[in-house]
Structure 1
Amino acid sequence: MTTLNDLYIEEIQDLWSANEQMSEVVSDMADKASDSKLSDRLKTAKDGIDQHSQMLKSLLQDSDAEVKKEHCKGMEGLVKEARKHALEADMSGAALDVAIIAQYQRLCHYGIAGFGTTKAFAEALGKDDAVSKLDKALDKIYGSDEFMTDLAERSRNLEAMA
């Protein structure tokens, strides 16, 4: 890599890989959640993640870059942690839901960092269409993260203490 555009392309390729890894574990968490609001939101989030993956692929095409993923080791680690601390944990009910929420938010925060960085690169490169698409994706990720915080604070954390 020698240019900002090279960094931009590599970040998109990395994010695409991260999204695909995240999509799978979010689907598994949705299936295991006991709270219907949590399960429904995770299913909606999975659909959004898949849409973001398609958008990232289109950004690569728009940039005349090689349309390929660069395996994201950071997300690989987060997915392993999510499986260990939520999906494979010996918990159920509200306690499991709280663990799922915590792991989902870790995944989201990684996405926020990646999408935010990519948006900043796109802004510096004058890629206005990409900036707009990345900004919309960020809004959805922030919204999902906020929903999870609200759900945890208002119901699941309290029930998990019982």
Structure 2
Amino acid sequence: MALNDLKDVYLDQIQDIYSACSQSLEATTKLGQAAKDEELGKALAAGSKGISDGMAKLEQICGDHGIDPTGEHCKGMEGVVAEAQAHALDEEFGSDDARDAMIISQYQRMVHYAIAGYGCCAAYANRLGLDGDAALLKECLDQTREGDVHMNKIAENSVNPKAA
């Protein structure tokens, strides 16, 4: 499909962030299962739920525009997920605390990718006057940012001191 205007770009990016979320959901679930710190495990489970909730909102937006949410494959998130697998799950660690620190690092890379995607899509929706879409995307963006802040607190207050 040719991307002829901002609406075409917007819909393409909605499908792309949906693909990114789908890929990061599986990775986040695996990271949560590998985490040994209880608070980290709970935060990753909440992150998985947040990703699922975001995907439901993206499905609603796609339905409203008559497009299939699975119309794109996000190669960027594919790479970030591969890095998370390699560095946090497949790597050999001398301590669970060190693995937990790496899990946070890799999870936050996925989260930052999602923040960029949601932010761009929300900006496009605002410019296009798609107020309902913009509100849904802002909810996704805010929730994703909150998860990132929570993960920083876990890293700073618990995981990183133990890993040091």
Question: TM-score if structure 2 supplies the norm length?
Answer: 0.95
Counterpart Cα distance in 1 of 2:61 and 2:117: 14
Q: Distance in 2 between matches of 1:151 and 1:67?
A: 33
* Unaligned residue ranges in structure 2 (runs of 5+): none
2:52 partner amino acid:
D
Does the 8 A contact of 2:115 with 2:145 survive in 1? yes
2:121 counterpart of 1:118: yes
Corresponding residue of 1:147: 150
What CA distance in whole angstroms lies between the structure 2 residues aligned with 1:9 and 1:53?
Answer: 14
- The CA distance in 1 between the partners of 2:77 and 2:69, in whole Å, is 20
Shift of 1:6: 0.3
Partner of 2:54: 52
Conserved in 1, the CA contact under 8 Å of 2:20 and 2:77? yes
Change (3 A) 1:6 1:134: same
* Residue identity matched to 1:48: G
Match of 2:96 among 85, 88, 93: 93
Q: Deviations over 1:63-117 (max 9, x none)?
A: 2334433000000000000000101111241111000000000000000000000
CA pair 67-146 structure 1, distance change in 2 beyond 3 A: closer
Given the alignment, which residue of 155, 158, 162 partners 1:159? 162
Q: Of 60, 63, 67, which residue of structure 2 is paired with 1:61?
A: 63
TM-score (norm 1): 0.96
Contact 1:30 1:40 in 2 (8 A): yes
Shift of 1:61: 1.0
Ranges in structure 1 where 5+ consecutive residues have no aligned partner: none
Q: Aligned to 1:23, which of 19, 25, 28?
A: 25
Q: Once superposed, what is the RMSD of the aligned Cα atoms?
A: 0.9
CA distance in 2, matches of 1:94, 1:31: 14
The alignment partner of 2:27 has SS state of helix
Calculate percent identity across the aligned residue pairs: 39
**Structure 1 contact 20–53 (Cα < 8 Å) conserved:** yes
Question: For residues 68 and 148 of structure 1, what CA distance do their matches in structure 2 show?
Answer: 29
User: Match of 1:107?
Assistant: 110
